[in-house]
Structure 1
Amino acid sequence: MKHRRRIDVVLSPEYLDALDTHTLEELGEMRVLVDDLENQLSFYRRVLHGRMDVLRFEQRRRRGEDSRSIIEALPELLAIGNQEGNGNGNGNALDRLHADFAPELPEVERRYTSVMNDDILTRLPDLDDDDLTLALEAFGALEEKLSGQRNALHEIHDALVTEIAGRHVASDPA
Structure 2
Amino acid sequence: MTDAAPYRRRIDRITDEDFLDGLADLVPADIRTMRDDCREEEARLSYARRLLHGQLDIARAELQRREGTDADSLVSTLTTILTDEAAGGPRSVSNSEVYVPTGKQGRRRGDRVLEEMPLGRLPDLTDPELVAAVQRLKEEEQAISALRRKVMDNLDRLQQELIARYRDGAASINDVVRTVEG
Measured on the aligned residues, the alpha-carbon RMSD in Å equals: 2.7
What are the superposed Cα offsets for residues 28-50 of structure 1, whole Å, 9 maximum, x if unpaired? 11000000000000000010001
CA distance in 2, matches of 1:44, 1:52: 12
**Aligned equivalent of 1:135:** 133
TM-score normalised by length of structure 1: 0.82
TM-score normalised by length of structure 2: 0.79
Name whichever of 116-125 and 33-42 sits farther off: 116-125
1:14 is the counterpart of 2:18? yes
- Tell me the percent identity: 29
Q: How do 1:125-164 and structure 2 match up within 5 A?
A: 125-164=123-162
* Greater RCO, CA 8 A, separation 6+: 1
What are the superposed Cα offsets for residues 111-164 of structure 1, whole Å, 9 maximum, x if unpaired? x42211124201012101011011111111110110001111111011101100
**Aligned equivalent of 1:90:** 93
**Aligned equivalent of 2:118:** 120
In structure 2, give the amino acid aligned to 1:90. Answer: V
| Distance 1:36-1:61 versus aligned 2 partners, 3 A rule | same
Name whichever of 115-124 and 57-66 sits farther off: 115-124
What are the superposed Cα offsets for residues 45-68 of structure 1, whole Å, 9 maximum, x if unpaired? 010001000011001111111121
Find 2:50's aligned residue among 42, 46, 53: 46
Unmatched 5+ residue regions in structure 2? 172-182
Unmatched 5+ residue regions in structure 1? 96-100
